[in-house]
């Protein structure tokens, strides 16, 4: 882009390494499958592949993302977590060492009916309580037997996902652990994988062979009520925007669409070049940005290109940089103020926001 951006995203590649080291220290000897689905949680899949290059393997959403990684020269094993497959997909996956997740009877039929030049490595997804993709515990015996009989299938791994891992005290975790343990013990699996970031951050007894961290690699906390600082994670992304205008507002003046914010006293405000057109959540209550090290509350409704903040004596001037979230302004706080999670904010950053690599 020829002009200086009004809003930009800084991606600190060093932070990826720090967070990966945190994962390694928790994962003991398990293989680390870095989850870089959804364009690496909005960070850019090419940047994440670079920052996380020392991962043992990767997971992505679908074969298009897997293909992007192979084109970037990524040599590690890649797993696709969810996709609809046809014969072309199976051929590509087999030839490019891409491991497919099998969670639906139609996929087994497809594999049975397809001749392949090379056999596939697959993950069998078992629904131990997530209530989403995967076979139920009582279906595993027949499904495993069918797949195990095929020469098209080279190895079968066991994959499952926790529904309440963000809350370590939730008893549902134990139910899922027990279901998975039963399935794990009954069959001869090549590899087993259960834990995402949140699972890795409690003292789960079931680390298994492969762990699948996502959010913690990007430096956000996976646990309710814990910050990235509590867990010694470093935010990879920092969303920044320019101050467009600074002005004095009288008590009683209204701010933004709907005029539902009324200034209680004479106030200095700054208008910041970031809005829902950049991925800033429109429904926030109590969100804050940081200008010149000063925390500044967001006032009124965010609009498409702008938010308004109380400068609170930050000496904000036109052209200054506001930290919308990231380093020095935890994304978890804006997520909480918007009644959502950091994942949604990260993946919601729009295309017009320029990604800049630092470090
Ligand atoms: C997204 C995803 C992960 C990573 O989850 P985080 O909470 O980001 O660590 C792991 N496993 C599966 C199946 C996923 O879909």
Q: What is the pLDDT of residues 249-303, one digit of tens each?
A: 999 999 999 999 999 999 999 999 999 999 999 999 999 999 999 999 999 999 9
- Let me know whether 46 and 113 are in one domain: yes
- Let me know whether 285 and 187 are in one domain: no
Give the Cα separation of 267 and 261 in Å (integer): 13
- Let me know whether 244 and 188 are in one domain: no
CATH number of the domain within which 334 lies: 2.40.37.10
- Let me know whether 128 and 245 are in one domain: no
Q: What is the atom index within ligand 1 of the atom nearest the CA of 35?
A: 4
- Write out the catalytic residue numbers: 37, 257
Per-residue pLDDT tens digits for 103-122: 999 999 999 999 999 999 99
Residue 6: inside a domain: no
- Let me know whether 47 and 194 are in one domain: yes
Does 83 score more than 90 pLDDT? no
Cα of 1 vs centre of ligand 1, distance in Å, is 33
Residue 113: inside a domain: yes
Phi, psi angles (nearest 5°) of residue 358: -120, 155
Domain that holds residue 271: 237-358
Residue 318: inside a domain: yes
- Let me know whether 216 and 250 are in one domain: no
Does 36 score more than 80 pLDDT? yes
Q: Ligand 1, atom 8: nearest CA belongs to which residue?
A: 214
Report the number of distinct structural domains present in the chain.
2
Q: What is the atom index within ligand 1 of the atom nearest the CA of 41?
A: 8
What does the pLDDT average to over 16-25? 97
Q: What is the mean pLDDT of the chain?
A: 95
- Let me know whether 191 and 339 are in one domain: no
Q: Where are the beta strands (DSSP E) in the chain?
A: 7-12, 31-35, 57-60, 77-80, 98-102, 120-127, 135-136, 153-159, 192-193, 210-211, 237-249, 254-255, 261-262, 267-272, 288-291, 294-299, 307-310, 321-325, 354-358
Coil vs helix vs strand at 53? coil
- Let me know whether 198 and 284 are in one domain: no
What does the pLDDT average to over 153-159? 97
Give the Cα separation of 59 and 213 in Å (integer): 9
Tell me which of 175, 202, 224 is where a domain ends. 224
The single-letter DSSP state of residue 337 is: H
Check the CA dihedral 198-201-207-211 and report its sign: positive
Q: What is the atom index within ligand 1 of the atom nearest the CA of 159?
A: 13
Cα of 209 vs centre of ligand 1, distance in Å, is 16
Residue 229: inside a domain: no
- Let me know whether 192 and 99 are in one domain: yes
Cα of 127 vs centre of ligand 1, distance in Å, is 14
Residues in the chain: 359
The single-letter DSSP state of residue 307 is: E
- Choosing from 20, 22, 35 the residue with most ligand 1 atoms within 8 A of its CB, the one to mutate for a pocket test is 35
What does the pLDDT average to over 91-104? 96
Residue 299: inside a domain: yes
Any ligand 1 atom below 6 A from CB of 101: no
Q: Which residue has the tokens 């992007």?
A: 68
Any ligand 1 atom below 6 A from CB of 125: no
Proportion of the chain above pLDDT 70, given as a percent: 99
Q: What is the pLDDT of residue 359?
A: 84
CB atoms inside a 10 Å sphere around CB 174: 10
CATH number of the domain within which 143 lies: 3.20.20.10
- Let me know whether 111 and 202 are in one domain: yes
Does 86 score more than 80 pLDDT? yes
């Amino acid at each position: 882009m020829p002009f200086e951006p009004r809003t930009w995203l800084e991606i600190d590649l060093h932070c990826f390494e720090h967070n990966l080291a945190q994962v390694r220290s928790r994962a003991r000897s398990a293989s680390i499958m870095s989850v870089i689905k959804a364009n690496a949680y909005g960070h850019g899949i090419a940047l994440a592949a670079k920052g996380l290059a020392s991962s043992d393997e990767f997971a992505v959403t679908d074969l298009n993302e897997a293909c992007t990684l192979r084109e970037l020269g990524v040599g590690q094993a890649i797993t696709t977590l969810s996709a609809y497959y046809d014969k072309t997909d199976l051929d590509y996956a087999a030839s490019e060492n891409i491991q497919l997740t099998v969670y639906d009877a139609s996929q087994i039929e497809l594999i049975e009916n397809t001749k392949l030049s090379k056999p596939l490595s697959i993950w069998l997804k078992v629904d131990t309580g997530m209530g989403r993709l995967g076979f139920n515990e009582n279906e595993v015996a027949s499904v495993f037997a069918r797949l195990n009989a095929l020469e098209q299938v080279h190895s079968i791994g066991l994959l499952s996902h926790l529904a309440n891992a963000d809350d370590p005290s939730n008893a549902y975790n134990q139910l899922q652990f027990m279901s998975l343990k039963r399935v794990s013990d009954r069959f001869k699996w090549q590899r087993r994988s259960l834990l995402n970031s949140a699972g890795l951050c409690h003292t789960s007894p079931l680390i298994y062979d492969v762990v699948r961290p996502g959010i913690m690699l990007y430096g956000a906390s996976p646990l309710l009520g814990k910050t990235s600082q509590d867990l010694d994670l470093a935010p990879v992304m920092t969303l920044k925007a320019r101050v467009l205008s600074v002005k004095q507002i009288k008590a009683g003046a209204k701010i933004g669409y709907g005029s539902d914010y009324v200034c209680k006293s004479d106030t200095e405000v700054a208008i910041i070049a970031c809005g829902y057109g950049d991925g800033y959540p429109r429904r926030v209550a109590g969100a804050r940005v940081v200008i010149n090290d000063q925390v500044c509350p967001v006032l009124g409704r965010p609009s498409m290109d702008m938010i308004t903040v109380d400068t609170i004596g930050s000496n904000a001037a036109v052209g200054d940089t506001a930290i919308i979230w990231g380093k020095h302004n935890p994304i978890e706080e804006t997520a909480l103020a918007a009644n959502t999670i950091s994942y949604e904010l990260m993946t919601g950053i729009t295309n017009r926001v320029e990604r800049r690599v630092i470090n």
